[in-house]
């Protein structure tokens, strides 16, 4: 599933969440070092949302990386350097496992 997503698709927002048999309830913090910004991401009932806030030590997973490395990661590059991981890496594996290439012809608002 993840192999068909390009980094360009991720950067352009052309990615959809495919919900497995049971809905997931996951969260992680992402610290973008090059932007000096932090985000809390939540995947719940097939919806991925985020809020900008400082990282919380109680969050199951914290990733510290650059924005470009985050785009590479979402595109499937889990092996390159440039990511500091604190916590349960299985959270990331589960989130990446439900990403799929979006439908470029999907119209959110129909005329």
DSSP 7-45: HHHHHTT-EEE---SS--EEEEEEEETTTTEEEEEEEET
User: Which pLDDT does position 1 carry in this prediction?
Assistant: 35
What does the pLDDT look like over 11-22, one tens digit per residue? 555 566 666 644
Give the integer Cα–Cα distance in Å for 110 and 58: 42
What does the pLDDT look like over 20-70, one tens digit per residue? 644 789 999 999 999 999 999 998 888 888 899 999 999 999 999 999 999
Number of Cβ atoms within 10 Å of the Cβ of 28: 21
């Amino acid at each position: 599933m993840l192999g068909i997503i390009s980094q360009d698709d991720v950067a352009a927002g052309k990615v959809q969440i495919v919900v497995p048999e049971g809905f997931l309830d996951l969260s992680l913090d992402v610290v973008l070092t090059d932007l000096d910004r932090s985000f809390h991401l939540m995947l719940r009932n097939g919806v991925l949302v985020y809020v900008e806030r400082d990282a919380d030590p109680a969050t199951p997973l914290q990733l510290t990386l650059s924005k470009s490395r985050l785009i590479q990661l979402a595109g499937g590059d889990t092996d390159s350097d440039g990511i500091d991981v604190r916590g349960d890496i299985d959270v990331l594996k589960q989130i990446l496992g439900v990403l799929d290439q979006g439908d470029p012809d999907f119209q959110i608002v129909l005329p």
